[in-house]
């Protein structure tokens, strides 16, 4: 897995990764907030969006599209649950006033390492 640079406050994921250059080919399981983002060496896997209903016709996703969205969401929810477990350490989610260079990144790496240690033990 990959751990990027930390950002202060509420910042959307798309804004965090827009400035990155990926040297090798990667696949990103993203949400619809990443629609339209297409950097080099990145394969985006997005869920299918439900088509708009018209006044005369009610539209829905096909069963294949629903199944695809369900499988994608199963994979993405694992990552969200891991982030929630990492944020149990309040120092990660609370405001940090230590402005030493690289402090936040080291803090997040330590929190991820503790999560991995708890999973192994």
In the chain, where are the structural domains located? Answer: 1-46
pLDDT of residue 94: 76
Q: Report residues of the chain scoring pLDDT below 50.
A: none
**Structure confidence at residue 1 (pLDDT):** 59
Predicted pLDDT at 72: 93
Contacts of 109 (CB under 8 A, 6+ apart): 3
Q: How far apart (Å, rounded) are the C-alpha atoms in residues 15 and 19?
A: 8
Please answer whether residues 47 and 69 qualify as being in contact, where contact means their C-beta atoms are separated by less than 8 angstroms.
Answer: yes
Model pLDDT, residue 95:
76
Q: Cβ(53)–Cβ(78) under 8 Å?
A: no
Helix extents (H) in the chain: 13-17, 63-86, 90-93, 103-120
The whole-angstrom separation of Cα 31 and Cα 104 is 26
């Amino acid at each position: 897995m990959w751990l990027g640079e930390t950002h202060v406050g509420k910042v959307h994921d798309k804004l965090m990764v827009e400035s990155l250059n990926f040297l090798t080919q990667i696949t990103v399981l993203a949400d619809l907030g990443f629609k339209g983002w297409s950097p080099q060496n990145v394969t985006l896997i997005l869920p299918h969006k439900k088509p708009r209903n018209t006044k005369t016709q009610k539209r829905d996703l096909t069963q294949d599209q629903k199944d695809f969205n369900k499988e994608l969401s199963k994979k993405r929810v694992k990552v969200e649950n891991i982030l929630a477990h990492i944020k149990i350490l309040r120092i990660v989610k609370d405001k940090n006033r230590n402005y030493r260079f690289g402090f936040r990144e080291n803090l997040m790496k330590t929190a991820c390492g503790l999560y991995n240690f708890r999973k192994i033990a």
